[in-house]
A and B are shown apart, each in its own frame.
Chain A
Amino acid sequence: MTFRQFAVNNVLRNKRLYAAYFLSSLFTVMVFFTFAIFAFHPLFFEGDIRWQVLYGMAVAGGIIYVFSFFFVLYSMSSFLQSRKKEFGLLMMQGMSTRQIRLMVFMENMLIGFFATLTGILLGLVFAKTVLLLAENVLVIEETLNFYFPLWAIVVTFVSFIALFLLISLFVSFILRTRKLVDLIKSDKQSKGEPKASVTLAVIAVVLLAAGYATALYVQGQGVIIAMLPVIIVVVIGTYLLFTQLSVYVIRRLKGSKGIFWRKTNMVLFSDLSFRMKDNARTFFMVAIISTVAFSAIGTLYGFQSYLTKNLKEMNPYTFMYSPYEVEDNQIQEHTETVEEILNNHDIQTETASAELDYFEVENSGPSEVLIAKESEYNRFAELLDEEKVDAAEGEAIVVADSSRVLIGASKKERLLDVPIELTNGELVQPDQFISSVVMPEMYSYYIVDDETFEALPEPVETKTRLIWQPTEGSEEAIIEAGGILQSQFPPGLFSAIDYSIYTINKTFGPVLFIGLFIGIVFFVSAGSFLYFRLYSDLDQDKRKFKSIAKMGLTDKELKKVINRQTALLFFAPIVVALIHGAVALTALSNFFDYNLVSESAMVLGSFAGIQIIYFLVVRYLYTKQIRRAVL
């Protein structure tokens, strides 16, 4: 038997030991490959390449690759950990360190090679499934159809073979420095408890508090400036939180007999501080990855909702014609075109036209302000079934800016303090403040009663608005007619809101989908980090519970301990990530001055929900394993 045969056989014989390592490598390849299938999708190379999307893809791909590296390295080291004794025995039987290193290197390459191949195969199946789901769930016109992802295969294969090569070299280099005694003795848990520094623990709290406070405090443009420093501060804070603060807290807990000696606490906390060093690294990675996932998905989702949700409410008129620098006779012509096209699509409409007069009002702001006649406003209100207004003589009603206007809350009521001067020198005081979408105007404006209106000075500008509200007609027809009409006129003259929303959904669909997909990939890999962390301690836990059970441990106590132990592992990093995510999304909504509470709650809530399900499943499996060992 040659040495190579020995190495190959060694893998084949110890299947079970290798399975965990193989599976985690395979999983990593699969995640990366599925991502690559989307990143190299022809959709992104044809026609109008969205550079931001491509850029985002490259960044996400890089992050996935870096995390893959650490993940594989990490699984590798815990795999080697469980085999140190085997190495020690082999060495005692006369195998040289060089041979062991060679063996580990070859094993690792063998596993890496098969993990890459299988990962790509499974990734193909997985991607196909995801695409099928996507087509059915999201509006994706430019279908993300399935294609043969040659580039993705090549890139994945090369990247991962390189990755495994690097890790194999790295690991065999590390092995060189180990002494025989260390290897043989390594299964005794003699390593000391990790220490924590009080100073660093305090710094963790200060950094996190400062980061959060800044993120929540800054408004508007300040968010952009503060973003990078806050991210850095929070990342460092998170790292210290897990490596220092948590270790410190656990040690304090263990130091207090009142707590540590209470019921099952001793069984629960006994290994916690020892595992905290390994856990801290995992927790940190998981917390950061999940935060990225939450924030990315929250941002995309929030952005889409910002673009579409209130569009309809803010533009209640289905079709609106707003001539600008157009001759009068042409207006007539345009109107006829609109009517004709609407007729062709079997759309019955109610129509109305308005002259909007804009005035110079002192102190009202940089541009002219619309002042609407009460009767005119009410005519439109009737068309929309909205509430009518009644302005008293000599008084004005101020209508708030539409919610699309990005403006600080303090400035929203600015017109309330600005009286309108009439030709006779009298002042009309605003006395009511309402929100309304009746008049097609973005900015804040006044409504005055008809008599007062007559007493206004000459308007600086008059705009004509023609609107059509369908009373009959199918949704598809309205969208189609909207599309035709919008292309008929110069941009900006004609707005067809249903068509606009449709376009936004269409372009946003794939982007949202891919963002969602990447977020989920991140989240799932975060979950598997935790899963592998838990399982790398399985043998140790089996031994621990077995010895305690011999002395007498009830099922209830066993369940309680496992429940808490697993919950701590699964929720500590996720709760941190949820808080990070909530803060990030709050900062985002401060930036847009757009309320994202319901979107954030939905995104964060669904992730929390998935995590709970994940926890329940893993806890069930883990409890089953432990109980089987204990019985």
Chain B
Amino acid sequence: MLQVKNVSKVYEGKIAYRALSNIDLALEKGEFVAIMGPSGSGKTTLLNMVATIDTPTTGEVLIEGSNPHVLSRNDLAKFRRRELGFVFQEFNLLYTLTVEENMVLPLTLDGKRVKEMNEKAKTIAEKLGISGIMGKRVHEISGGQAQRAAIARAMIHQPKLLLADEPTGNLDSKASKDVMGMLETLNKNENTTTMLVTHDPQAASYADRVVFIQDGKFYSEIHRGKSRQTFFQSIIDTLSLMGGDDRDFSSVRG
């Protein structure tokens, strides 16, 4: 489904900075993969390459066998809003719109019929339990609700690939659990390939596989066995082995 082949990224600037070196990664159709690593290790950079928001310096990204980076800017924009779904850490919702309007915004750009958009919004809202807040503006809802609204927006057009950057970063553990449970359900029921960047071992334990990167390089990966609890434990072990920053440990303790 998704192949990241030997991708490197160098940020040009006064001092060129190598954020990613020779990353290889492959996701099966319907697979749920979490990316973990210390702050500054290049997780967002990697996600942006896959999301086609940024281009790799060398190497290539293939989605269903073809390289979206060769598309023109316009086609790329359309590809993004039709084939991919994004959940950003800072929600990325428009404050001037209601929850429902935020959800259908990408669909309106494609000139979908109102009836169709209404139905899709209704269906996904029910799945995510946000039917009651559809008419509210973003500042009137809680962080957890906003994150669910953002997931609803990312999922409304049934994307091939769902990309989430720290979707639980702003949430407490109860809300995190709800959101992760929802991502897991969507992944299982809709068979949506999902790639998740997170610092939170709890969140990562919902994935089928966790990939660790450090200093822009592949570090290791672990697969989920039968129990989430043992998976969670081995994630924590790997993290402490890597010796990430304080933030990682605090979230372990907390």
Could you list which residues of chain A lie within 8 angstroms of chain B, going by C-beta atoms? 188-190, 257-258, 260-267, 270-271, 273-274, 544, 547-557
Cα A544 to Cα B101 in complex, Å, equals 14
Is B95 a contact of A188 with CB atoms below 8 Å? yes
Q: Which of B16-24, B80-88, B123-131 contacts A (4 or more CB under 8 A)?
A: B80-88
Say yes or no for B142: interface residue by CB 8 A criterion: no
Contacts of A556 in B (CB 8 A): 74
Instruction: Other than A550-B80, A552-B106, give 7 A-B pairs with Cβ distance below 8 A.
Output: A265-B108, A270-B101, A550-B88, A551-B106, A552-B80, A552-B82, A555-B77
Say yes or no for B220: interface residue by CB 8 A criterion: no
Contacts of B101 in A (CB 8 A): 260-261, 266, 270
Cα A262 to Cα B230 in complex, Å, equals 50
Majority DSSP secondary structure for residues of A touching B: helix
Interface size on B, residues (CB 8 A): 32
Is B97 a contact of A261 with CB atoms below 8 Å? no
Cα A190 to Cα B97 in complex, Å, equals 11
Is A544 a contact of B94 with CB atoms below 8 Å? yes
Cα A270 to Cα B93 in complex, Å, equals 12
Is A267 a contact of B109 with CB atoms below 8 Å? yes
**Interface readout for B169-204 with A: 1 if CB under 8 Å, 0 if not?**
000000000000000000000000000000000000
Could you list which residues of chain B lie within 8 angstroms of chain A, going by C-beta atoms? 51, 53, 73-74, 76-82, 84, 86, 88, 92-97, 101, 104-106, 108-109, 111, 114, 117-118, 139, 153
Contacts of B95 in A (CB 8 A): 188-190
Q: Which residue from chain A places its CB closest to the CB of B154 in the assembled complex?
A: A551
Is A549 a contact of B77 with CB atoms below 8 Å? yes
Is B139 a contact of A552 with CB atoms below 8 Å? no
Contacts of A265 in B (CB 8 A): 108
B71 CB, min distance to chain A CBs, angstroms:
11
B100 CB, min distance to chain A CBs, angstroms:
10
Q: Which residue from chain A places its CB closest to the CB of B92 in the assembled complex?
A: A547
Q: Which residue from chain B places its CB closest to the CB of A631 in the assembled complex?
A: B73
Cα A274 to Cα B81 in complex, Å, equals 26
Is B105 a contact of A267 with CB atoms below 8 Å? yes
Cα A619 to Cα B97 in complex, Å, equals 25
Q: Which residue from chain A places its CB closest to the CB of B74 in the assembled complex?
A: A554
Select which of A271, A553, A555 is within 8 A of B96 by beta carbon: A271
Cα A261 to Cα B97 in complex, Å, equals 12
B165 CB, min distance to chain A CBs, angstroms:
11
Q: Which residue from chain B places its CB closest to the CB of A191 in the assembled complex?
A: B139
Is B106 a contact of A555 with CB atoms below 8 Å? no
A255 CB, min distance to chain B CBs, angstroms:
11
Is A266 a contact of B73 with CB atoms below 8 Å? no
| A-B residue pairs, 10 tightest by C-beta | A552-B81, A552-B80, A554-B74, A552-B77, A189-B95, A190-B139, A554-B77, A270-B96, A547-B92, A257-B114
Is B111 a contact of A550 with CB atoms below 8 Å? no
29 intermolecular pairs with C-beta atoms under 8 Å apart: A189-B139, A190-B95, A257-B114, A258-B114, A260-B101, A261-B108, A262-B111, A265-B108, A266-B105, A266-B108, A270-B94, A274-B96, A547-B92, A547-B93, A548-B94, A550-B53, A551-B92, A551-B105, A552-B77, A552-B80, A552-B82, A552-B84, A552-B106, A552-B109, A553-B109, A554-B73, A554-B74, A555-B73, A557-B109
B218 CB, min distance to chain A CBs, angstroms:
26
A534 CB, min distance to chain B CBs, angstroms:
17
Contacts of B53 in A (CB 8 A): 550
B186 CB, min distance to chain A CBs, angstroms:
18
Select which of A261, A271, A550, A553 is within 8 A of B117 by beta carbon: A261
Is A552 a contact of B111 with CB atoms below 8 Å? no
Cα A551 to Cα B81 in complex, Å, equals 5
A263-B111, A264-B109, A266-B97 are contacts. A552–B92 as well, Cβ < 8 Å? no
Cα A551 to Cα B97 in complex, Å, equals 16
Q: Which residue from chain A places its CB closest to the CB of B48 in the assembled complex?
A: A550
Q: Which residue from chain B places its CB closest to the CB of A558 in the assembled complex?
A: B77
Contacts of A261 in B (CB 8 A): 101, 104, 108, 114, 117
Contacts of B79 in A (CB 8 A): 552
Cα A271 to Cα B109 in complex, Å, equals 17
Residue from B80, B81, B108, B118 with most neighbouring chain A CB atoms (10 Å): B108
Is B109 a contact of A555 with CB atoms below 8 Å? no
A493 CB, min distance to chain B CBs, angstroms:
76
Is B78 a contact of A547 with CB atoms below 8 Å? no
Is A262 a contact of B96 with CB atoms below 8 Å? no
Contacts of A555 in B (CB 8 A): 73-74, 77
Is A551 a contact of B114 with CB atoms below 8 Å? no
Is B77 a contact of A189 with CB atoms below 8 Å? no
Contacts of B74 in A (CB 8 A): 554-556
Q: Which residue from chain A places its CB closest to the CB of B140 in the assembled complex?
A: A190
B138 CB, min distance to chain A CBs, angstroms:
9
B50 CB, min distance to chain A CBs, angstroms:
13
Q: Which residue from chain A places its CB closest to the CB of B111 in the assembled complex?
A: A263
Contacts of A188 in B (CB 8 A): 95, 139
Q: Which residue from chain B places its CB closest to the CB of A275 in the assembled complex?
A: B96
Residue from A190, A263, A551, A553 with most neighbouring chain B CB atoms (10 Å): A551
Contacts of B82 in A (CB 8 A): 552
Contacts of B76 in A (CB 8 A): 552
Cα A556 to Cα B76 in complex, Å, equals 13
Contacts of B94 in A (CB 8 A): 270, 544, 547-548
Cα A555 to Cα B73 in complex, Å, equals 8
A188-B139, A263-B108, A557-B109 are contacts. A270–B97 as well, Cβ < 8 Å? yes
Select which of A263, A270, A273 is within 8 A of B109 by beta carbon: A263
A278 CB, min distance to chain B CBs, angstroms:
14
Is B80 a contact of A262 with CB atoms below 8 Å? no
Q: Which residue from chain A places its CB closest to the CB of B52 in the assembled complex?
A: A552
A270-B97, A547-B94 are contacts. A553–B118 as well, Cβ < 8 Å? no
Q: Which residue from chain B places its CB closest to the CB of A190 in the assembled complex?
A: B139
Is A189 a contact of B96 with CB atoms below 8 Å? yes
Q: Which residue from chain A places its CB closest to the CB of B112 in the assembled complex?
A: A261
Q: Which residue from chain A places its CB closest to the CB of B75 in the assembled complex?
A: A554
Contacts of B109 in A (CB 8 A): 263-264, 267, 552-553, 557
A624 CB, min distance to chain B CBs, angstroms:
16
Residue from B73, B77, B78, B111 with most neighbouring chain A CB atoms (10 Å): B77
Contacts of B117 in A (CB 8 A): 261
Cα A267 to Cα B108 in complex, Å, equals 9
Q: Which residue from chain B places its CB closest to the CB of A547 in the assembled complex?
A: B92
B85 CB, min distance to chain A CBs, angstroms:
9
Cα A274 to Cα B82 in complex, Å, equals 29
Contacts of A264 in B (CB 8 A): 108-109
Is B108 a contact of A262 with CB atoms below 8 Å? yes
A190-B139, A261-B108, A263-B111 are contacts. A551–B96 as well, Cβ < 8 Å? no
B68 CB, min distance to chain A CBs, angstroms:
11
Cα A274 to Cα B84 in complex, Å, equals 30
Cα A271 to Cα B79 in complex, Å, equals 26
Residue from A552, A553, A554 with most neighbouring chain B CB atoms (10 Å): A552
Contacts of A544 in B (CB 8 A): 94
Cα A552 to Cα B92 in complex, Å, equals 13
Cα A265 to Cα B88 in complex, Å, equals 24
Q: Which residue from chain A places its CB closest to the CB of B51 in the assembled complex?
A: A550
A254 CB, min distance to chain B CBs, angstroms:
9
Q: Which residue from chain A places its CB closest to the CB of B153 in the assembled complex?
A: A551
Cα A544 to Cα B117 in complex, Å, equals 22
Contacts of B93 in A (CB 8 A): 547
Cα A262 to Cα B117 in complex, Å, equals 11
Q: Which residue from chain B places its CB closest to the CB of A185 in the assembled complex?
A: B139
Contacts of B96 in A (CB 8 A): 189, 270-271, 273-274
Select which of B73, B80, B111, B139 is within 8 A of A551 by beta carbon: B80
Cα A258 to Cα B108 in complex, Å, equals 10
Q: Which residue from chain A places its CB closest to the CB of B53 in the assembled complex?
A: A550
Residue from B76, B79, B92 with most neighbouring chain A CB atoms (10 Å): B92
Residue from B79, B84, B92, B109 with most neighbouring chain A CB atoms (10 Å): B109
